Amino acid sequence: MKKIVFRKLLSDCLIFSLIALMGISLIIWVFQAVNFLDIMIEDGRNHKIYLLYTLLNLPKIITKVLPFCIFFGFSYIFIKYEMMNELIIFWNHGVEKISLINFFLFFSLIVLILQIVFLTILIPKSQEMARSILRTSDVDYFEGLIKPKKFNDNIKDLTIFAEDKNSNDEFINIYIKKKTTENNFQVTFAKKGIFEQKGKDKILVLYDGQSLNNNNNKVTNFSFSKSDFGLGDMKSHLIVHKKIQEQSTIDLTNCIKSIYFEVDINIINCDKGNPREVYKELFKRIIIPLYLPLLILIAVTNLLISKENVNYFKYRIGIFILGIFAIIISESSLGFINNIFLNNLFFILLPIIFILLIYLTLFFKFKLNISKI
Minimum mean pLDDT range among 66-75, 290-299, 342-351: 342-351
Q: Which amino acid, 301?
A: T
Residues 122 and 173 reside in one and the same domain:
no
Residues 194 and 317 reside in one and the same domain:
no
Name the band, by pLDDT with cuts 50, 70 and 90, for residue 372.
very low
Facing residues of 195 across strands?
204
179 within a domain of the structure (yes/no)? yes
Of residues 287, 288, 303, the one with CA closest to residue 74: 303
Taking the C-alpha atoms of residue 316 and residue 279, their distance in angstroms, rounded to an integer, is 36
Residues 264 and 181 reside in one and the same domain:
no
Residues 246 and 359 reside in one and the same domain:
yes
* Domain coverage including residue 190: 158-230
Taking the C-alpha atoms of residue 147 and residue 171, their distance in angstroms, rounded to an integer, is 9
The sign one gets for the Cα dihedral 352, 358, 361, 364 is: negative
Report the predicted TM-score, pTM, of the whole model to 2 decimal places.
0.73
50 within a domain of the structure (yes/no)? yes
Residues 121 and 180 reside in one and the same domain:
no
78 within a domain of the structure (yes/no)? yes
151 within a domain of the structure (yes/no)? no
Residues 10 and 106 reside in one and the same domain:
yes
Residues 293 and 328 reside in one and the same domain:
yes
Over the chain, what is the mean pLDDT? 83
Residues 27 and 90 reside in one and the same domain:
yes
Residues 195 and 59 reside in one and the same domain:
no
Taking the C-alpha atoms of residue 79 and residue 70, their distance in angstroms, rounded to an integer, is 14
Question: Tens digit of pLDDT for each residue in 126-144?
Answer: 988 887 776 666 554 455 5
Taking the C-alpha atoms of residue 23 and residue 2, their distance in angstroms, rounded to an integer, is 32
Q: Domains in the chain: how many in total?
A: 2
Residues 281 and 348 reside in one and the same domain:
yes
Q: Which amino acid, 216?
A: N
144 within a domain of the structure (yes/no)? no
Taking the C-alpha atoms of residue 156 and residue 140, their distance in angstroms, rounded to an integer, is 14
239-246 average pLDDT score:
69
